[in-house]
Amino acid sequence: MTTTEHGPGSAGGDDTSGPLHGGPDAEHSPEQLAAMDRTELDRLGARYDGVEVLHVDPVPPPGSPLDKKNTRLVTLWFALAGLFAVAFLVIYAGSGWFLPSWEWEIGGSTWSAIYTPLLGATMGASLICIGVGLVLYVKKLLPHETAVQDKHDGSHFDRVTTGATLMSGLDNSGLPRRKVLLGTIGVMGAAFGAMLIAPLGGLIKNPNTGNPLGTTPWAEGVRLLREDGTPVRPGDQQVGSLETVFPAVEGGNRAADAAVMLIRLRPDQMATLVTAEGREDYGYGDYIAYSKICTHAGCPVSLYEQETSRILCPCHQSQFDVTQGAKPVFGPATRSLPQLPITVDDEGYFRARGDFPEPVGPSFWNIGRLD
Amino acid sequence: MATTTTTAPGQPTTLVGKAALEVDDRLIVAGPVRRTLNKVFPDHWSFLLGEIALYAFVVLLLSGTYLTFFYDATMTEVTYQGSYAAMRGIEMSAAFESSLDISFDVRGGLLIRQMHHWAALLFVAAICVHLLRIFFTGAFRRPRETNWFIGVALLVLAMLEGFAGYTLPDDLLSGTGLRIFSAVFLSIPVIGTWVYFTVFGGDFPGELIIGRLYILHVLIIPAILLALIALHLLILVKQKHTQFPGAGRTEHNVVGNRLFPTFAGKATALFFIVFGLCAALGGLVQINPFWLFGPYNPAQVSAGSQPDWYIGFVDGGSRIFPPWEIVLWGYHIPPVLWGALGIPGVMFTLLALYPIIERKLTGDTASHHLLQRPRDVPVRTSLGMMAITAYVVLWISGGNDVIAEKFDISLNAMTWFGRIGFLVLPPIAYWITYRICLGLERHDREVLEHGIETGVIRRLPSGEFIEVHQPLGPVDEHGHGQLAYGGASVPKKMNQVGGARRAIKGFFSPIEEPAEVQRQAELEARGLESEQASRELTGSGRPSEGGRPSEGGRPQQEPRD
């Protein structure tokens, strides 16, 4: 059917629609298609998609005992799914209304303790029932069909023609011979790309301003405080024990590199104590203090085994010997835990005599070259 | 045009049909929809593993979106006043407070949070198992290398996504993990300190990292994951799925079920089962109870701190790597670099490049659409087992303190087990796997040549006892089978070739007439000869399937290669 267009934009004359979709529509008239039944149409379409249905295992005939049994089975699973969904809704919305409150308190009701498990169980059961029902539907109520579909390799025709279109477009643009233009576009592209990502430079922070990696809140005269803020006196601790202390500065107990282990050595540990040269006065009496931050990956080393004088990091099992300057004796750590020089002030409380002599925590590229 | 005449043949008469015509008149989708519905998918349980990952991802998107309604990704210090009494009055970040609120003050929030966590564990696990299936069956070979690369990228991204996600609650466990990550950044040669300061916006932990991980976790990585998954599936559809060899299956076809309704039904069923599993786990099995750990504090840690399972091997590598710090002209390269970045880096690089490596080694550059059985490629299978062994040693080492404690083993012995095992066990695994592959291959050939052992002992007139073997196909004058091995599974039990009768259906009582079933089986057996020609393509050709009792116990047609 043709029409004659006179509207704006029309070139005038006959505006004829081309062949509808080529192949199939030309080969099969509507009358022919109308004469075919559904299965035939299905197979015909499939053939156009390169699919051949080879074999269909029929389902049990409708009304047969097996068919009824299978239908009952699938219905049962979907019904169960619905029931569980309703149970979920009742538990979810009913808690605190006609059921006990869902809000959990220590020593609260049993209902609040099983509220989340019940929700999970009902929701999970509902979803799994739908899944099982669908599996059974496919397996027991649908005909088992074996189909085979052709797999095609790439088309040589497509490759050649597409390549020709691309290359002739490139030729027409003249870019390959306009060398200066091409070069300029290259440079422009690079500069443009750099401009787009340049704002990310705002993320970059200089790690070398003020030596943050080499210093901690500890300084000359800073007191050693417990987590709760109380100062520590010699004799507070039992012999052989370990206590975590923090610098008496604002936020000292939350700083990432400030935690220190104050250790009171036993007499026999004192006898075997090895101190590094120039650090003989870092301890105070039978007290010594080491950084708690592991030199391997920065975890707090916390597990102190008194009998062996070893401190164990629970993250990667590095072990440090407190009687040998907290030297690593096993595991992946390579550097000793830095020792904090301590003394006692006029009021009889522990205080630091300065910052750690070396950086605290994990090693890094220029750790040996910090000021 | 034809559409204007309502009386034309084939015009829809039903309401749905008319509506469909209206849609197609505008969008012209009937053709593509039919092609999609007709698409054939091969049927094998192992092809569902990737789908499990896909559905877990859908669960993650749904549950994750829910969680964003309540989560607050700021590190501002607040004092907890919520309903969990044990934490009241404690200083914590707003991120941790909102995580507690999701768990205690949002109705059903704990369920969704735990469902999200379980789905994440399942997501990575399904990716890994899917990857192993692809690897051991050679599905990564040309033309599917691109999808292999995308898959490896998806695995790495999924792990990073998981790490970013479980760090968000800002609790003691995840904060410790983040601190270890910071040490890994710091260990990078030359630019380590710059990377570290850039990532954290200053010294650890700063006040930015949770917000940054949050946007990575909910926007950037999921967007990349989504795009890559879409691409992964598009390429899969375009290239068509691989299939195992079998009768009628060639390099140029796909034998299986059409998308609609069979495959779609099964896939939807699997989605609901995966979703249901996540929901059930989320409600019934506690995961990451961070209210027991408390807020992050750089000075605290609990013993037995373990990351989520997929980060375990990184942790294990850090644990067993010897204390070797390289010092060059005063510059340091700490061992954590090798354990946490070096080993995984080498592993993932080798994994990603494996298709290229294998192509170079074997010189096989042909396209392959038929899968291989692992036994038929002993070198690849053994290399895979070697890699798995190395991974498992690292993974076990990631929990060596827990194993040492539970089994009362020396912790140092566990570390040494990891160090030695990482080097010694993989080659042993290679050797054992290689021998097993050869043994299985030979047994396949033996059955093809001599037939299945029937267990029937016969006494010859000479007094000699022999076991009767059932040949699988035609035999030559010496009684040797003439079937060649076709890359498909070879039946090795009489029941697999119809030695057993079909079971009568019914769980408590038979719902079929035994006599009727018997009659049908006989009919089928008789009809087989005439049907043989047409059935050539239809039987999957894999006798282990064809001979299942539930399928009638038909005597298996002669398998052909």
Do A84 and A197 lie in a common domain?
yes
**Strand partners of residue A300:** A293
State the DSSP H helix or E strand holding residue B514, giving kind and residue range, or none if neither: helix B514-535
Do A280 and A355 lie in a common domain?
yes
Residue ranges of chain B with per-residue pLDDT less than 50: 1-6, 528-561
Contact B294, B174 (CB under 8 A): no
Identify the closest residue of chain B to A314 by CA–CA distance.
B303
State the DSSP H helix or E strand holding residue B266, giving kind and residue range, or none if neither: helix B264-284
B104–A103: do the CB atoms touch at under 8 Å? yes
The beta-carbon neighbor of B9 closest among A31, A54, A368 is A31
In a domain, A264, yes or no: yes
Residue with tokens 């290239």: B239
- Average pLDDT (A145-156) is 91
How many domains are there within chain A? 3
In a domain, A1, yes or no: yes
B21 touches chain A (CB under 8 A): no
The pLDDT-based confidence of A369 (bands split at 50, 70, 90) is confident
Query: What is d(CA B412, CA B394) in angstroms, rounded to the nearest whole number?
Result: 15
Computed from CA positions of residues B188, B198, A318, B405, in that sequence, does the dihedral angle turn out positive or negative?
Answer: negative
- pLDDT on residue B41: 95
A131–B271: do the CB atoms touch at under 8 Å? yes
Residue B18: left if φ>0, alpha if ψ -120 to 50, beta else—which one? Answer: alpha
Per-residue pLDDT tens digits for A43-60: 999 999 999 999 898 888
A259 touches chain B (CB under 8 A): yes
In a domain, A329, yes or no: yes
- CATH code for the domain of A331: 2.102.10.10
Amino acid B201 reads: G
Do A124 and A252 lie in a common domain?
no
- Of A156, A173, A190, the residue at which a domain comes to its end is A173
Query: What is d(CA A94, CA A100) in angstroms, rounded to the nearest whole number?
Result: 8
Which residues on chain A are in Cβ contact (under 8 Å) with B193?
207-208, 213, 364-366
Distance from CA of A65 to the nearest CA of B (A): 7
Chain A, window 266-285: residues with a beta carbon less than 8 angstroms from a chain B beta carbon: none
In a domain, A331, yes or no: yes
The beta-carbon neighbor of B334 closest among A212, A303, A334 is A334
Do A132 and A168 lie in a common domain?
no
What phi and psi values does residue B113 have, to the nearest 5 degrees?
-60, -45
Q: Which of A116, A200, A209, A294 to mutate to test the interface with B (most CBs of B within 10 A)?
A: A116
B106 touches chain A (CB under 8 A): no
In a domain, A217, yes or no: no
Amino acid B64 reads: G
Do A126 and A3 lie in a common domain?
no
Do A169 and A188 lie in a common domain?
no
Do A236 and A269 lie in a common domain?
yes
Contact B43, B56 (CB under 8 A): no
In a domain, A206, yes or no: no
| Residue B207 tokens, joined | 């006040």
The beta-carbon neighbor of A297 closest among B180, B258, B269 is B180
Most confident of A204-218, A250-264, B108-122, B443-457: B108-122
Which residues on chain A are in Cβ contact (under 8 Å) with B335?
296, 332, 334
In a domain, A67, yes or no: no
Helix axes A38-48, B30-38, angle to 10 degrees: 90
A362–B336: do the CB atoms touch at under 8 Å? yes
Contact A180, B173 (CB under 8 A): no
B262–A138: do the CB atoms touch at under 8 Å? yes
- pLDDT on residue A121: 97
Do A8 and A35 lie in a common domain?
yes
SS3 B196: helix
Query: What is d(CA A207, CA B206) in angstroms, rounded to the nearest whole number?
Result: 13
The residue segments making up the domain with residue A270 are 224-363
Which residues on chain B are in Cβ contact (under 8 Å) with A104?
83-84, 104
Residue A24 clears pLDDT 60, i.e. is over it: yes
Do A251 and A120 lie in a common domain?
no
Do A292 and A245 lie in a common domain?
yes
Helices (H), B10-144: 15-27, 30-38, 49-68, 94-104, 109-136
- pLDDT on residue A93: 95
In a domain, A87, yes or no: yes
The beta-carbon neighbor of B331 closest among A48, A150, A366 is A366
- pLDDT on residue B496: 84
**Strand partners of residue A305:** A310
Do A300 and A337 lie in a common domain?
yes
- pLDDT on residue B557: 42
Do A165 and A193 lie in a common domain?
no
